[in-house]
């Protein structure tokens, strides 16, 4: 798995030259970090975002094929899948916390919207792309990667729908990992802990707000999109050919710490 241009990890290089990757929500945060890592590894990378015009982001997206997608939009999901001539890797990254948009996820209607946004839409995208993925020639098989969360494992006040969706994503990953293995598709997920992103920028700049998190993270730092991307590139590589149905926490040890509790904050977990 070597490539002349390399990626961002000393002694480790991935070569995805000749393979196609779709990263939903690939314009910022974890999704952007994953997309950039695949691009540096030689892959053809397709990203989706909520803007109609990619130029409106104010960042250089010239190295990607950009497709607009605002979830949940079942017809657009089908249209995107139908537009792809081939696909080897699907990263279901798009989603969001409706509480951050001042919506009450305890309200049954908002709860249901959160499930559609963070669970059902990813399932629909994976199902729509299944035949393409099944035809992949990627050594070790094609891959679907979901983005889970610490809320997949722990209760988190205020984000009832998001947490339910992320917990269900872990179970769906197990189920599809079994159901699709004979179709040349491995299905796994990663569960990031506190990760630097635009959504968390204000809190990350506040030492007092971050102190409870650092006290509970054995590595005493937050994650970066690069941390998440490294695990994702491994899971979709031939080195992980015997791994399916698994969810890998990437959290600096937070979830295995005996001090792990949920700080009272509005940070994105």
* Closest by Cα among 157, 156, 178, 153 to 167: 153
Dist. CA 231–CA 241, nearest whole Å: 14
First to last CA, the chain: 32
Phi and psi (nearest 5°) for 53? -110, 115
Q: How would DSSP label each residue in 68-112?
A: E--SS-HHHHHHHHHH-S--SEEEE-----GGGGT--TTSHHHHH
Count Cα neighbours of 215 within 13 Å in the Cβ-side half-sphere. Answer: 10
Residue 108 Cα to chain centre, angstroms: 25
* Closest by Cα among 28, 70, 64 to 52: 70
Q: What three-state secondary structure class fits 17?
A: coil
Give the Å distances, CA to CA, from 196 to 153, 168, 219, 230.
Answer: 20, 24, 15, 15
User: Which residues are designated catalytic?
Assistant: 162
Q: What three-state secondary structure class fits 126?
A: helix
């Amino acid at each position: 798995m070597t490539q002349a241009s390399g990626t961002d990890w000393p002694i480790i290089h991935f070569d995805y030259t000749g393979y196609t990757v779709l990263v939903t929500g690939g314009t910022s945060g974890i999704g952007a970090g994953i997309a950039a890592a695949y691009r540096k590894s030689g892959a053809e990378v397709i990203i989706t975002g909520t803007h109609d015009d990619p130029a409106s982001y104010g960042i250089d997206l010239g190295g990607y094929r950009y497709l607009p997608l605002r979830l949940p939009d079942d017809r657009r999901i089908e249209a995107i899948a139908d537009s792809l001539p081939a696909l080897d890797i699907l990263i279901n990254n798009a989603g969001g916390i409706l509480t951050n948009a001042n919506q009450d996820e305890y309200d049954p209607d908002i709860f249901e919207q959160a499930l559609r946004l963070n669970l059902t839409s990813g399932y629909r995208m994976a199902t729509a792309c299944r035949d393409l993925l099944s035809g992949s020639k990627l050594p070790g098989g094609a891959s679907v990667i979901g983005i889970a969360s610490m809320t997949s494992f722990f209760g988190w006040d205020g984000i009832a729908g998001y947490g339910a969706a992320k917990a269900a994503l872990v179970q769906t990953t197990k189920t599809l990992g079994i159901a699709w293995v004979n179709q040349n598709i491995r299905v796994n997920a990663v569960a990031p802990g506190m990760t630097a992103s635009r959504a968390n920028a204000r809190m990350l700049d506040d030492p007092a707000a971050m102190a409870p998190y650092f006290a509970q993270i054995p590595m005493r730092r937050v994650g970066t999109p690069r941390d998440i991307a490294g695990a994702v590139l491994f899971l979709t590589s031939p080195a992980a050919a015997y791994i399916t149905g698994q969810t890998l926490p990437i959290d600096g040890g937070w979830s295995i710490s005996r001090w792990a509790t949920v700080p009272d904050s509005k940070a994105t977990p």
